[in-house]
Structure 1
């Protein structure tokens, strides 16, 4: 953030009270001085606020000095004035130094907790970023009044004040609710969201989309604010990566309540993307009959190509003609789905060399040889490939069947699409 500043003068309200509106970008990195500019303590690192109604109130200045030097915390009542070039404070008592900064529960650090954080727009469908924070200074106190999500705020953050994009877009703090994430991270970090009541009204699909746009801490904060029913709905709609992140940070009792809101198929879908240790832990939270049903679905999904394949398929040698193959296909005992493809085997009668689609076969001249029209090499699957992987291959290639081969391309059988969906 650049160090160009523009401190506005005080104004007078209709009630005759002096007030001033400031942006955090106006104050960030301003020199903090005792008495005169020559007695400089350092530069403002952050402003610290406590929750208050209706707007958070400043409790002090936070200074970092670097090079291993201790931080300093200057209580707000020690602030004498803020002018264009400096923040002036009273000297510490007894000529000593101000104490190091120690974070307190519920405190909000503007730069650390708000600037650059994601805020969910009030319709819950778009995400914004806090580019600046707007303060009201009156009666010797400083309050957070708004957050600025406009591009102007972004420009100010980087010291570009001679350009204005459009009007500042300020969102009143009363419409913005900080979510304490002390339950999900070690530090009391503040994130932003719409009010909790508004969050509850958003569809799970929209919440899942929003969660995927947030950082880890913000994601956990928003998820922790949901009740069990809404959390379950959101978890079902989330992408696998987000599902793994959310589950990994759930407390057992919270997880138990969320899982109780989900159906067996939904649980199986969720558990299928979890790491093994998380899967075992989540299974332990389910009633025995429910965990057995979920496990049965997972076992079925983990069936391999060898278990799912059939040995009923049509094969022929490379030098076989189309007419010869068509004659063999007319045998009455052929299962219809076994004649989707003809698998061309080498002279050893075992090694797969290529494949011919039946729809192409019927269009060829009877005297044409398979080696002249086959697709080679064929798309194959390994015998230990699981159902999910098979499904991805079928989705990719749109085949009706896939040949299963060993490490030497020996044809072991065929997996049909209808057997894995």
Structure 2
């Protein structure tokens, strides 16, 4: 168990005493070696300097002032931003490095949750339900970066309101904390409109696997398209709980079986769908596991196991953006070699272009690559 320690006086006249709390941080930021108390008198320049040096600041002032301080620190980080390079790969690496630096610095501003997950700051919102959903039942004081707490609060709102999915007839998917939200609808639409393999469409094998299901959105789309039984898998316990919750909400719990932690379930299916993380690389947080795939391990696992899990006449659907190729993280030749080495053949490929706001954001350092991005559904069959 990770614990932080600091010294604090309970009142202006009391003697400072040693205190400690459980350290809760889901990013790659290391445990702070030094913690000081900060409040409404703390200047942004001081907070920024201490955070850059690796010192954590435990906030004891007004909640809204803490958010203002966080924004002020963020502005100081932005002033030192390195402009994008001409080379796409170099631009990506600079962008990634800048995001890691920003995350590390901003995560040094901490708040303290009590043994009930309550936030004892002036004008603080009630965060108990949101924290229980993210971290489980409370039982001890916990120090958490304010940036992470804001993410927990935002995730609670997503979970309450849900995300409308046109491919589900406007029904909503409710993401949980730490599970990638299906806000990019183009990949969902690909699965919704690509013709089903003949054995599945005609009822010979009315089964499908959805590997790395996340919120369960693709499993739900397949079930709504008439697939009789969908087995959805994931290695993330939060995703498994989220997918079960969404299957229940949509009235599909008898058609969608959620299992894990695993990539492939037992048996074979007429259709195996996988939307792996699109970037080869190391994730910096649990949420980034939906974006970064270390050494393309999930992509390789899907391809290598596909032939052994398909019914005769079945297909594997690989949903993948070419953004990694445009950034120089992977070549098309490397992808095709992986497919061929797994004993697979590309039967067809269905493409779509991005509709998300970043594709038209000219201030994004990766704008050129994002604007040209193509997301594809690769229809794979055994050779």
TM-score surpassing 0.5?
Answer: no
**What TM-score results when the alignment is normalised by the length of structure 2?**
0.26
**What TM-score results when the alignment is normalised by the length of structure 1?**
0.24
Tell which has more relative contact order, 1 or 2 (C-alpha 8 A, sep 6+). Answer: 2
- Structure with a larger share of its residues in helix: 2
Larger-gyration structure (1/2): 1
